[in-house]
Structure 1
Amino acid sequence: MVITLPAPGPGATDDLSGLTVGVEEEFLLVDPDTGYPVPAAADVLADLRVGPWTGQAEFFPTQVETATGVCTELACLGDELTGARRAVREAAVAHGVLPMASGVPVVDGPPPPRSDKARFAAIHERFTAVLEDYQACGCHVHVGVPDPDTAAAVVNHLAPWLPTLLALSVNSPVRSGRDRRHESLRLLDQARFPGAGLPPYFASGADHDEQIARLVDCGVIVDNRMTFWLARRSAHLPTVEVRVADTVQHPWEAVLQAALTRALVRVALDELDRGREGPRLDPQLGAASLWSAARHGIGAAIDPVAGVATTARARIDALLRLTAPALRETGDWAFTRAAVDRLLTKGTGASRQRAALRRGTLIAEVTGVGITGSG
Structure 2
Amino acid sequence: MTIGVEEEFLLVDPVTRRPVGRAEEVLARVAPHDLPAGAKVHRELIGTQVEFASGVCDDLRELGEQLVAGRRALDRAARAEGLRLLATGTPALADPAPPLSRGERFGVIEDIYRGQVSDYQCCGCHVHVGVPDRDTAVHVVNHLRPWLPTLLALGGNSPFLAGRDTGYASWRVVEQAKFPGAGVTPYFKTAAEHDAAVDRLVDCGVLVDATQTFWLARPSPRYPTVEVRVADTAATAAHAVLQAGLTRALVRTALASGAPPPEPDEQVLAAAVWSAARHGLDGPGVDPLAGRRVPAAELVEALVAHVSDELGDDGDVVRSLLRDVSAGGTGARRQRDAGGPDAAVDLLTCIVTESG
Query: What's the TM-score once normalised by structure 1's chain length?
Result: 0.91
Q: Provide the C-alpha distance between the structure 2 equivalents of 1:71 and 1:34, rounded to a whole number of angstroms.
A: 37
Pick from 153, 177, 186 the counterpart of residue 200 of structure 1. 186
How far did residue 359 of structure 1 move?
Answer: 9.5
**Partner residue in 2 for 1:7:** none
In the alignment, is residue 294 of structure 1 matched against residue 280 of structure 2? Answer: no
Q: Provide the C-alpha distance between the structure 1 equivalents of 2:70 and 2:126, rounded to a whole number of angstroms.
A: 15
**Partner residue in 2 for 1:303:** 287
- Count the aligned residue pairs: 351
**Partner residue in 2 for 1:187:** 173
How far did residue 96 of structure 1 move?
Answer: 1.1
Larger CA deviation: 362-371 vs 97-106: 362-371
**Partner residue in 2 for 1:125:** 111
How far did residue 325 of structure 1 move?
Answer: 1.5
Q: Provide the C-alpha distance between the structure 2 equivalents of 1:80 and 1:321, rounded to a whole number of angstroms.
A: 28
Q: Secondary structure at the match of 2:180?
A: coil
Pick from 312, 320, 334 the counterpart of residue 304 of structure 2. 320
**Partner residue in 2 for 1:279:** 262
Pick from 6, 23, 39 the counterpart of residue 5 of structure 2. 23
Contact 1:99-1:369 at 8 Å conserved across structures: no
Q: Secondary structure at the match of 1:310?
A: strand
In the alignment, is residue 77 of structure 1 matched against residue 59 of structure 2? Answer: no
CA deviations 1:126-178 (Å, max 9, x no partner) are 01111111100000000001311111000000010000001111110011222
Q: Secondary structure at the match of 1:368?
A: helix
Q: Provide the C-alpha distance between the structure 1 equivalents of 2:12 and 2:352, rounded to a whole number of angstroms.
A: 16
Code of the aligned partner of 2:289: V
Code of the aligned partner of 2:8: E
Contact 1:85-1:369 at 8 Å conserved across structures: no
Code of the aligned partner of 1:302: V
How far did residue 374 of structure 1 move?
Answer: 6.5
**Partner residue in 1 for 2:322:** 340
Q: How does 1:1-375 map to 2 (within 5 A)?
A: 19-50=1-32, 51=35, 52=37, 53-271=39-257, 274=258, 276-298=259-281, 299-327=283-311, 329=312, 331-358=313-340, 361-371=343-353
Contact 2:4-2:55 at 8 Å conserved across structures: yes
Q: Structure 1 regions of 5+ residues with no counterpart?
A: 1-18
Code of the aligned partner of 2:325: L
Larger CA deviation: 246-255 vs 331-340: 331-340
Q: Provide the C-alpha distance between the structure 2 equivalents of 1:110 and 1:315, rounded to a whole number of angstroms.
A: 38
Q: Provide the C-alpha distance between the structure 1 equivalents of 2:194 and 2:146, rounded to a whole number of angstroms.
A: 18
Q: Provide the C-alpha distance between the structure 2 equivalents of 1:25 and 1:369, rounded to a whole number of angstroms.
A: 15
Contact 1:98-1:367 at 8 Å conserved across structures: yes
CA deviations 1:275-298 (Å, max 9, x no partner) are x22112322111110000000001
Code of the aligned partner of 2:134: P
CA deviations 1:101-133 (Å, max 9, x no partner) are 000000022411122211111011101111111
How far did residue 369 of structure 1 move?
Answer: 4.5
Identity of aligned residues (%): 50
Distance 1:46 1:210, change over 3 A: same
**Partner residue in 2 for 1:16:** none
How far did residue 99 of structure 1 move?
Answer: 1.0
Query: What's the TM-score once normalised by structure 2's chain length?
Result: 0.96
Larger CA deviation: 104-113 vs 207-216: 104-113
How far did residue 311 of structure 1 move?
Answer: 1.5
Distance 1:189 1:360, change over 3 A: closer
Code of the aligned partner of 1:280: E
Code of the aligned partner of 1:293: A
Code of the aligned partner of 2:26: V
Q: Secondary structure at the match of 2:135?
A: helix
Code of the aligned partner of 1:336: V
Q: Provide the C-alpha distance between the structure 2 equivalents of 1:360 and 1:34, rounded to a whole number of angstroms.
A: 9
Contact 2:85-2:352 at 8 Å conserved across structures: no
